[in-house]
A and B are shown apart, each in its own frame.
Chain A
């Protein structure tokens, strides 16, 4: 592909400046003059700058290099290269962060430190996405992790928040160690320094075992950050306790840096690998998608529900990455590009709708002080705009046409179908692709169930508590952010043809060259095409749905105008809020259908009038078991603590004992070395 004339090339450094300077200023402003409330507007400006930079890079298909003179051993202090892959995530960051920062315009941060940490955190992500060598990447990565930890924990944490925060800090550091070792193996194995470019050039000559080690470490490290099963334990704890605008960016963008890193290292730098890499990513993706949505369904805390959905969506993204790894390994580059484009598109889409949903949940939380779905209800009457936009986000994340979530899930289906159908791929691997199709189908249907629950229980029906009955609509900045994000979901849905075309080019630019497909492959287009390949005409089809719905509304609505209001049928009793299904009862069929996985627990305590069988009070408690956390990690952690305590006995504090240890050690050494 010949590089297009870079119309935007001159503007690129300015756009980067427009991103970095306002974010840096915002951070300083929040530290120095928190009362001036300048940080949020500046953060919005910087975020818009990031999105503009991303769009300019994608439109011009160029790159932006920022490099200062080398300091030691060819290593620059600033070594950034923004290419089209980073640009995709820059757009996601800009979209999510502009709305999140916009929603807090006019409010005061909980503390100076947190006010300053938020824009700095965004800046760190901007650097991660451009870092062109291992050192710059890890530096920004670690900064991002620490700043987000500050935002999660805050200045006056409760015990629960502190425990969630510590778990997050611990897991994110284990992840960083994994990435560090992966980079070390790459640097040592290639002997080409720390630059990504040098690694890419030298990686084909790398020992296959070293490549496998790098892949496993990268998958573990980046998978932890992305919140992929089984390393997701931190995510559903940390995201809900952060303020909503922070949860929105963490869920919408930060976990996507894990996807970015995985694609950058495994697809771009290593250039893919053997089949088992792709199958491993597919398996982790399927497990994340199914377990994420199942656990989400079982939550009644609305933010925790959304956090588990992030695990699900990361799973869907990984299905695309896995399919593309398998296909690229067998030279089916055209199909591999479809699958990778699906992953990139879903990353972008998830940034839009998950930010929308978290900000909507934040608005509910602000208006009612309640995050328990079972105490909400009927909010659509009191918060109509929040309800409508949350509904749009819910439909988008459920993968319903014509919104954006459907377009990227459709592409993912095509990538998986391609994996199962590509004759060059070994049969067993093709079957893995077929299994993933089933997993994605199950996930999509469960997501519909979950978001009918989240939207319906919170916003429709009768209020289930006084707080819900006296809620109020969100403030103007929040509403503006919600409306903007809902519009983004619609635009990305109707414009999916353009978006997926651009992202397919991005995917092709980082995939190893292979054979182009001789037949037209599946594609999301704007207008219908008649080439015989599977097509989703996003713009034409979407508009047709809208027109048909408008026509039907006209027909049906005319007759409904003379409608009279009547009591809802509850077998002749006056309707009361308690008659309604709650979030917990709504999910009960699924809890029972999947009881082998969810292992539900049920405790009923009945207190009777003394001497009779007349109940005074009945307490019901139900919960599900998080198999990995409760049955694997917790026992493993307990075992680790016990082992540490056993080892501690060695530390008696007596100098004689330590000298004895030294004597034993010397003896052992003498024996071993002889």
Chain B
């Protein structure tokens, strides 16, 4: 057996981890910057998210009231789940770093694992806001999940497999052929869901400082020091991860089909460009759309599920022949 495949895997894993971890805070920085500009502010420097993380990482942590082992171990579980998930998603190439380890349902399962751990940690402190955030977060995710699963299933049906490498390769080969109604509708549905899952307007306000309106932030209220740094980094990583899943399933253009330097470089540039575009769209939403009442969310996220179903239905209609 040659060492070739193993070395390739190790290189790809290292590359993807480096890009994702290095880029995640920057993406959040660009979103905040654009949002500030759109609101007529100058905004914080692009590097501010990194500085925040470094600051928190060095601080003496304060552990809230009744918090115990759950709150202590949650950051590690969340980070592990998201890092493993990010290695399953094609980014630079159509082949994810850990090819054949897991498909899109495994990614969704790992996101659920992170959500489960954060929500439990939020309840650990015994305060009101943790419960409030956890309760809202799991409820909104419950509305979002069918939409996400159905939207990705739509793309998987077209590609013939829920394996993200197959889906990505299918998209690259289809090229402009991807611009068919079913595919676009699936993408719209996935887009709506990703807005909800990453805590952006109109579902959640990532910059809120009022406890009563917090969803994701509310769950982190009792975290501090390295815990807080890890959990905030985790949510930044989750944004990159979901954006990469979206790109792999719906817009894999530019991803390298062979593992040679030039295509890989193009793939990396294309990948980062796609992330930046997705980030700018989120910033635009943040700046222009008002937060919805929580009771209106079933309409929005139900819409995503229905659009995704329409997309699948369109694929199944037998045409001609």
- Is chain A's interface secondary structure helix, strand, loop, or mixed overall? helix
In the complex, B115 has a CB within 8 A of chain A: yes
Contact B141 A535 (CB under 8 A): no
Residue count of chain B within 8 Å CB distance of chain A? 93
In the complex, A381 has a CB within 8 A of chain B: yes
Contact A536 B103 (CB under 8 A): yes
Contact A589 B126 (CB under 8 A): no
Q: Which of A195-203, A350-358, A438-446 contacts B (4 or more CB under 8 A)?
A: A438-446
In the complex, A544 has a CB within 8 A of chain B: yes
CA distance A381 to B70 in the complex (A): 11
**CB within 8 Å for A460 and B103 given contacts A398-B112, A431-B312, A556-B230:** no
Q: Which of B29-37, B39-47, B150-158, B267-275 contacts A (4 or more CB under 8 A)?
A: B150-158
Contact A452 B123 (CB under 8 A): yes
CA distance A398 to B109 in the complex (A): 10
Contact A462 B66 (CB under 8 A): yes
> From residue 442 to 457 of chain A, which have CB atoms closer than 8 A to chain B?
442, 444-446, 448-449, 451-453, 455-457
In the complex, A4 has a CB within 8 A of chain B: no
Contact B80 A586 (CB under 8 A): no
Contact A438 B309 (CB under 8 A): yes
In the complex, B149 has a CB within 8 A of chain A: yes
- B81 cross-chain contacts in A, Cβ below 8 A: 545, 549
The residue in chain A whose Cβ has the minimal distance to the Cβ of B308 is A438
Q: Taking the nearest CB of chain B, how far is it from the CB of A342, in angstroms?
A: 12
**CB within 8 Å for A552 and B79 given contacts A380-B69, A569-B127, A575-B127:** yes
The residue in chain A whose Cβ has the minimal distance to the Cβ of B212 is A571
Q: Taking the nearest CB of chain B, how far is it from the CB of A541, in angstroms?
A: 5
Contact A568 B126 (CB under 8 A): yes
- B127 cross-chain contacts in A, Cβ below 8 A: 568-570, 575, 579-580
Interface string of B241-281 (1 = CB under 8 A from A): 00000000000000000000000000000000000000000
Contact B76 A536 (CB under 8 A): no
Contact A401 B109 (CB under 8 A): yes
Contact B138 A452 (CB under 8 A): yes
> From residue 104 to 125 of chain B, which have CB atoms closer than 8 A to chain A?
105-106, 108-110, 112-113, 115-116, 119-120, 122-125
Using C-beta atoms within 8 Å of the partner chain, give the interface range for chain A. Answer: 35 or more
Contact A559 B62 (CB under 8 A): no
CA distance A567 to B66 in the complex (A): 8
**CB within 8 Å for A535 and B134 given contacts A449-B142, A545-B84, A568-B126:** no
The residue in chain A whose Cβ has the minimal distance to the Cβ of B77 is A549
In the complex, A513 has a CB within 8 A of chain B: no
Q: Taking the nearest CB of chain A, how far is it from the CB of B311, in angstroms?
A: 10
CA distance A391 to B305 in the complex (A): 30
Interface string of B130-162 (1 = CB under 8 A from A): 111011101111111110111001001100111
**CB within 8 Å for A581 and B312 given contacts A444-B145, A541-B102:** no
- B235 cross-chain contacts in A, Cβ below 8 A: none
Which among B105, B294, B312 has the greatest number of chain A C-beta atoms within 10 A? Answer: B105
- A380 cross-chain contacts in B, Cβ below 8 A: 68-70
CA distance A441 to B105 in the complex (A): 10
CA distance A391 to B121 in the complex (A): 12
Contact B128 A580 (CB under 8 A): yes
**CB within 8 Å for A568 and B125 given contacts A410-B106, A434-B153, A461-B66:** yes
- A569 cross-chain contacts in B, Cβ below 8 A: 64, 127, 129, 221-222
CA distance A564 to B128 in the complex (A): 21
Contact B106 A442 (CB under 8 A): no
CA distance A410 to B163 in the complex (A): 12
Which among A399, A409, A530, A563 has the greatest number of chain B C-beta atoms within 10 A? Answer: A563
Q: Taking the nearest CB of chain A, how far is it from the CB of B266, in angstroms?
A: 23
In the complex, B318 has a CB within 8 A of chain A: yes
CA distance A435 to B309 in the complex (A): 7
In the complex, A118 has a CB within 8 A of chain B: no
Contact A522 B161 (CB under 8 A): yes
Contact B62 A565 (CB under 8 A): yes
CA distance A273 to B163 in the complex (A): 31
CA distance A534 to B155 in the complex (A): 14
Contact A462 B162 (CB under 8 A): no
The residue in chain B whose Cβ has the minimal distance to the Cβ of A573 is B128
In the complex, B61 has a CB within 8 A of chain A: yes
**CB within 8 Å for A398 and B125 given contacts A414-B162, A431-B312:** no
Contact B60 A563 (CB under 8 A): yes
The residue in chain B whose Cβ has the minimal distance to the Cβ of A589 is B139
CA distance A593 to B108 in the complex (A): 22
> From residue 532 to 567 of chain A, which have CB atoms closer than 8 A to chain B?
532-537, 540-541, 544-546, 548-553, 555-560, 562-567
Contact B76 A537 (CB under 8 A): no
Q: Taking the nearest CB of chain B, how far is it from the CB of A515, in angstroms?
A: 17
In the complex, A77 has a CB within 8 A of chain B: no
Contact A431 B316 (CB under 8 A): yes
> From residue 552 to 611 of chain A, which have CB atoms closer than 8 A to chain B?
552-553, 555-560, 562-571, 575, 577, 579-581, 585-590, 592-594
Which of these, A451, A533, A564, A568, contacts B161 with CB under 8 Å?
Answer: A533
Contact A452 B316 (CB under 8 A): no
**CB within 8 Å for A585 and B116 given contacts A541-B102, A552-B75:** no
- B298 cross-chain contacts in A, Cβ below 8 A: 593-594
Which of these, A431, A439, A537, A575, contacts B100 with CB under 8 Å?
Answer: A537
In the complex, B187 has a CB within 8 A of chain A: no
- A530 cross-chain contacts in B, Cβ below 8 A: 99-100
- B308 cross-chain contacts in A, Cβ below 8 A: 438
In the complex, B1 has a CB within 8 A of chain A: no
- B80 cross-chain contacts in A, Cβ below 8 A: 545-546, 548-549, 551-552
In the complex, A157 has a CB within 8 A of chain B: no
Q: Taking the nearest CB of chain A, how far is it from the CB of B307, in angstroms?
A: 12
In the complex, A413 has a CB within 8 A of chain B: yes
CA distance A391 to B124 in the complex (A): 13
Q: Taking the nearest CB of chain A, how far is it from the CB of B194, in angstroms?
A: 15
Contact A564 B76 (CB under 8 A): no
In the complex, A427 has a CB within 8 A of chain B: yes
The residue in chain B whose Cβ has the minimal distance to the Cβ of A575 is B65
Which of these, A410, A420, A449, A577, contacts B109 with CB under 8 Å?
Answer: A410
Which among A399, A545, A589 has the greatest number of chain B C-beta atoms within 10 A? Answer: A589
Contact B225 A438 (CB under 8 A): no
Q: Taking the nearest CB of chain A, how far is it from the CB of B110, in angstroms?
A: 6
**CB within 8 Å for A580 and B142 given contacts A586-B134, A588-B135:** no
Apart from A399-B112, A438-B146, A569-B129: 18 A-B pairs, beta carbons within 8 A: A401-B109, A410-B106, A417-B157, A431-B316, A434-B312, A444-B145, A448-B112, A460-B66, A460-B120, A461-B66, A535-B100, A545-B80, A549-B81, A552-B79, A553-B73, A557-B76, A589-B140, A593-B139
Q: List 20 A-B contacts (CB under 8 A).
A: A410-B105, A431-B313, A437-B150, A438-B305, A445-B144, A460-B123, A462-B65, A534-B166, A537-B100, A545-B110, A549-B80, A550-B76, A552-B76, A562-B60, A563-B63, A564-B61, A564-B62, A589-B294, A590-B139, A593-B298
Give 8 closest A-B pairs by Cβ, nearest first.
A581-B131, A441-B149, A456-B123, A568-B65, A445-B145, A589-B139, A548-B80, A559-B226
A residues within 8 Å of B by Cβ?
A: 377-378, 380-381, 391, 395, 398-401, 406, 409-410, 413-414, 417, 420-421, 427, 430-431, 434-435, 437-442, 444-446, 448-449, 451-453, 455-457, 460-462, 522, 528-537, 540-541, 544-546, 548-553, 555-560, 562-571, 575, 577, 579-581, 585-590, 592-594
